[in-house]
Chain A
Amino acid sequence: MSDYDLILLGAGPAGAAAAIKARSLGLSVGVIDEASAAGGQVYRTPSPALTATQPDADRAKGDALRAKLAASGAVLYANHRVWSLRPGFSVIAIGPDGPLTLEAPNLIVAAGAVERHIPVTGWTLPGVIGLAGATILLKAHGVLPGRRVVVAGSGPLLLLVASKIVAAGGEVAAVVDAAPRASWLARAGSMLARPDLITKGANWLLALLKARVPIHSGTAIRAIHGTDGVESVTIGPVDRDWRPVGDAERTLAADAVCLGFGLLPSTDVTRLLGAEHRYKPELGGWIPAVDASLQTSVPGLFVAGDGAGVRGADAAPLSGELAALGVARRLGRGGGGGSAGEAAQTEANWHKSGRFGAAMSALAMPPPGAAAMIDPDATVCRCEGLTRAMLDAAIAAGARTLADLKATTRCGMGPCGGRVCGEAAAMLIAAATGWDREAIGQPSARPPLRPVPLAAITGAFDYDELPIPAPAPL
């Protein structure tokens, strides 16, 4: 018994657009999101305590999206965390009122992206946060990561975060970008198609220059120092392949570090449901293999937004609409010959608008040499306290896949489930063996997709009603 024609996982720009489109085609739609309101990361609603902050363009776009979604008739399940799924599809979540299971023959996963981490010595100190995490802190809570912040890693989030810190009155000790300056220019072609976004980037840059923030390209953090928190950061040059070179190091005083290396498509759900995936570094890494309507190898399972390949917020709504059109066609709904033409047009527009985002994503993507940035004593797997040296030893002893590493070292077995350490661990295997990433594989997706308290899963129950099968043979 289906609850809806379509369930959407994620109410960001892709998910909301998909829901609105599907409703306009007459489909019944349920939308599930972890956050308290629609908008995703990019249009995240500010905390109510922040109403006095200056309105910005993202805020206005987010409010418009929320209003449109509310008017569409799609049912939004906010504050719901999906922890498991069954084929066909059942979505199993935990919400404010307890467990919730929803069923639908079609599922669009618009779960966005997660941060790519490359561990450096000291990154486990209090005061070090992810770049994407920093945007949430700044946007939703108006909180500065620290008084004097080093913003480091790669990709466009560096400029966004640094400029937001400056705008909020914080000090940025330095922007430290591993990519050589030339690689930004190499992407200029793709960027010229979007002068509006270039202007946005230029404005961030201008704000940083005005605040006299030093911007170091071709540079990376060598180590973060401190006892109870960040006290200073040592940076040094890296070569074109992001390998540390030379001894031109300098140490900057800082009490916080925002560190991130671009975004990884979030593929937990599609992996759990057994969809095929491909490794596409130009789109952020592993993504589900899809057809022209963004349907995966599992019939009825569609993807949209950054989860289908990191292309950014502007391309996301088009991918959502494309997937919604695919769902409608699969259900034999949504009106005749016009829809094929509309899908083709939407697909073309999506490809066009995705070019800029994909170029940005590629800019953040670490080349294989970046594994050299990880010192032997840097903690790679935080949950289990495993350093690079420990993982390298296991690789030298024969571990060739993430599953091997997990079995021999427990890497990825903790609460993060490989979400934080999986990329770095795969980089280490690739660096040691020369194997390509497809062969090294992905972390296996297992329920629960996020750690869930046992009591939240089990709920209240009566022992005598447990469906206990026949006992094992004597």
Chain B
Amino acid sequence: MSALYDLAVIGGGILGSAAACRAAEGGMRTIVIEQQTLGSGASGVNAGTLSLQIKRVRLMPYAIKGHELWEKAGERVGFHKTGGITLAFNQREADLLHERMALKREAGAPIELITPARVAELEPNLSRKVVAASWCAEDGYANASLSGAYYRTLLEAAGVDIRERTPVTAIDRSGSAFELATPAGPVRATRLLLACGAWLRSAGAMIGLDLPVRARVNTVSVTERGPALVGTVVGHATGLLTLKQKPNGSILIGGGWQGTGSPDEGRSSVDPATLLPNLRLAMFAVPGLDRFRVVRSWTGFEANVPDFFPLAGAAPGIDNAFLLGCVRGGYTIGPYIGALMGDLILGREPELPLFDPGRFATGASAAA
């Protein structure tokens, strides 16, 4: 008979790892089971943008806490606080920018509107076609590809067992504990946390939940190293562009343009039809990019639910099972909301309220 864990976490991304660390620090015997390797999903392949300007209003308090945690992680995650500029190139975008940034400012983000002349001072290589812009000194970025290595260290320090390259193929909860079937043998735990991002839907189905989780397929591109062009994180009023130049001179271009594929197919691909406008928007914002060669574009799955807010709380109708998935801004918020989730599992009151998955009909009662 295998050992009985207090908590088994399915998914070794930022969310699952942060929750596992908190639970283990609170005394729970914890295991993280990951189908690939730690941080290999959205946690590791996103553009690493830490921008309060692109966070949703209701999530702002969580995003501010998330920024603090990434800043504390510092060099280990390639954190840089550069400030960020969001650009509008026509009146429609300017209206959108004014409306949105006012609400985000009210929610606590230190965002200010700046003039096109100020933009030119801050970033002389940006387009001169800016009609309105905003600035947030808290914005910056970290290096998402370091997420896995960072959390490996934290998990090991917290004494969490890590099982990688281990897909969970079935979950049985007929006894007093959950029994997770894996190719490497069963794992038993009294509590279960599903934190597997875009794969939440298929994992939920294993415990009888019909979760309304769909996958977005976000595209990111990177150029070769080049001369200094921009020093801040550059965004667009619609949120459809993020751009930053890393210390090594390469430029990362994101913005959530959609590729093709699905988690069920196990593969996603860049769609040249959406890559093109993504790169054109980047070129328009930073004309000097024309000389940079693109070396790679890639895609990653981001979980998505109908109201675009996180799933974070008890699994409806299933004792001792919990769900955790972040939608929009998961990289920024992940370390914080993951820790809150750990608190909830430990039976503590989280510092900020979580996002009850029970707000969606999940069909759990039928399965229970």
Contact = CB atoms under 8 A, between A and B. Distances in A.
Given A408-B148, A448-B297, A474 B291 contact: no
A407 B149 CA distance: 8
Interface string B12-54: 0000000000000000000000000101100010000000001
A455 B272 contact: no
B152 interface: yes
Given A86-B272, A274-B269, A474-B103, A454 B37 contact: no
Interface in B107-151: 129, 145-146, 148-149
Contacts of B291: 453-455
What is the interface residue range for chain A against chain B? 35 or more
Nearest to B144: A407
B95 to A, nearest CB: 11
Given A414-B224, A454-B282, A471 B293 contact: no
The number of chain B residues touching the other chain, given as a range, is 35 or more
Contact of A457 (B54, B240, B256, B279): B279
Contacts of A195: none
B296 A417 contact: yes
Nearest to B253: A454
B75 to A, nearest CB: 15
Given A454-B279, A457-B276, A407 B148 contact: yes
* Chief secondary structure at chain B's binding surface: mixed
B5 interface: no
Contact of B292 (A444, A454, A474): A454
A381 B254 CA distance: 26
B6 interface: no
A448 B89 contact: no
A458 B149 contact: no
Interface string B266-286: 010111110111011111100
B208 interface: no
Contacts of B225: 414
A468 interface: yes
B2 to A, nearest CB: 23
Interface string A401-417: 10110111010011101
B296 A448 contact: yes
Main secondary structure of the interface of A (DSSP, over half): loop
A448 B152 contact: no
Contacts of B277: 466-468
Contact of B44 (A407, A410, A453): A407
Given A408-B149, A471-B240, A474-B100, A453 B272 contact: no
B149 A452 contact: no
B149 A447 contact: no
Most central of B44, B129, B149 by chain A CB within 10 Å: B149
A185 interface: no
B237 A474 contact: no
B261 to A, nearest CB: 9
A467 B274 CA distance: 9
B349 interface: no
Contacts of A414: 224-225, 295
B54 A472 contact: yes
A453 B296 contact: no
A455 B283 contact: yes
Contact of B238 (A401, A413, A447, A471): A471
Contacts of A421: none
B328 interface: yes
Contact of B294 (A92, A274, A457, A468): A457
Most buried by A among B145, B224, B269: B269
Contact of A86 (B90, B100, B271, B290): B271
Contacts of B145: 406-408, 410
A272 B297 CA distance: 12
A123 B239 CA distance: 45
Contacts of A467: 277
A471 B96 CA distance: 9
A467 B146 CA distance: 33
A461 B296 contact: no
Interface in A421-474: 444, 446-448, 451-455, 457-458, 461, 463-464, 466-469, 471-474
A451 B37 CA distance: 28
B211 interface: no
Contacts of B148: 404, 407-408
B239 A458 contact: no
Contact of B223 (A92, A446, A454, A471): A454
Which has the most chain B C-beta neighbours within 10 Å: A407, A413, A415, A463?
A: A407
A400 interface: yes
A398 B12 CA distance: 15
A415 B293 CA distance: 9
B239 A472 contact: yes
Nearest to B222: A413
B149 A446 contact: no
Given A398-B152, A469-B240, A472-B328, A415 B295 contact: yes
A444 B266 CA distance: 14
Interface in A68-86: 84, 86
A272 B267 CA distance: 11
A33 B44 CA distance: 35
A49 interface: no
A457 B274 CA distance: 12
A474 B293 contact: no
B355 interface: no
Interface in B143-163: 145-146, 148-149, 152
Interface of A: 84, 86-87, 90, 92, 272, 274, 397-398, 400-401, 403-404, 406-408, 410, 413-415, 417, 444, 446-448, 451-455, 457-458, 461, 463-464, 466-469, 471-474
The 6 closest A-B pairs by CB, nearest first: A455-B290, A472-B239, A451-B293, A471-B238, A407-B145, A473-B308
Interface of B: 37, 39-40, 44, 54, 56-57, 89-90, 96, 100, 103, 129, 145-146, 148-149, 152, 165, 222-225, 237-240, 256, 267, 269-273, 275-277, 279-284, 289-298, 308, 328
14 contacts: A84-B275, A274-B267, A274-B269, A397-B149, A404-B40, A417-B295, A417-B296, A446-B297, A446-B298, A448-B296, A448-B297, A457-B275, A471-B239, A474-B56
Given A457-B275, A468-B281, A473-B308, 8 more contacts: A86-B271, A408-B146, A408-B149, A414-B224, A414-B225, A458-B276, A466-B277, A472-B238
